[in-house]
Amino acid sequence: MAGLLFVSQAMLDSWAGLGKIEFVGNVMTLLSGDGKGRSYALEPAVRFLKVLGGADRHGLVHKVKPVSTLREMGAEAVGDSCILGDAAYEVEPGFFAEASALQAAATARPAAPPAAAPSRAGAAPAAPAPAAPPSARPFGGEALPKDLEEKRKEAEALARFLLENLT
């Protein structure tokens, strides 16, 4: 589940009460901060806090699992508990948040037509495109493809919002 962040139900309730976010279906839109206007699809998930009596035979403590995966495993999550086989866990309900493709589609601009080549003989060549910022070049290598750079920016904005609002 790389690229996903866990957001607790309590945190979402707090942010909604403060008017920092709004929902349309399972899409959360930020109403404040650096990520204002960005949208994220939410998937129900739980964070496993501790096993209630016995050993953690399933290795779930300190992990986050989507509810859909838990159903496939035969587990049942209700409120702040989850049962898998004969093991009971205390969990924190919440959601996985992933940058929504809806936002990218809504803000996409039509592609610009290609620039015409100079028709004069001996005309100066066009200036090279500016280099990508260092943050867009992993380990000093080539620039990230545009779609990956957009995902990186979306994840960075959500992480910044989460860190600014973890109070």
From the list 7, 43, 37, 66, the residue with the least C-alpha distance to 157 is: 37
State the Cα–Cα distance between residues 112 and 36, nearest whole angstrom: 26
Q: How far is CA 35 from the centre of its chain?
A: 12
Task: Dump pLDDT digits (tens) for 113-142.
Answer: 445 544 444 544 444 444 444 444 343 445
Using one digit for the tens of pLDDT, what is the confidence trace for 38-89?
888 889 999 999 999 888 999 999 999 999 999 999 999 999 999 999 899 9
Nearest 5°: CA angle at 89, between 88 and 90? 135
**In this structure, which amino acid lies at residue 155?**
A
Contacts of 96 (CB under 8 A, 6+ apart): 1, 4, 5, 6, 7, 42, 43, 45, 64, 66
Amino acid present at 137 = R
User: What is the rounded distance in angstroms from the CA atom of residue 108 to the CA atom of residue 56?
Assistant: 47
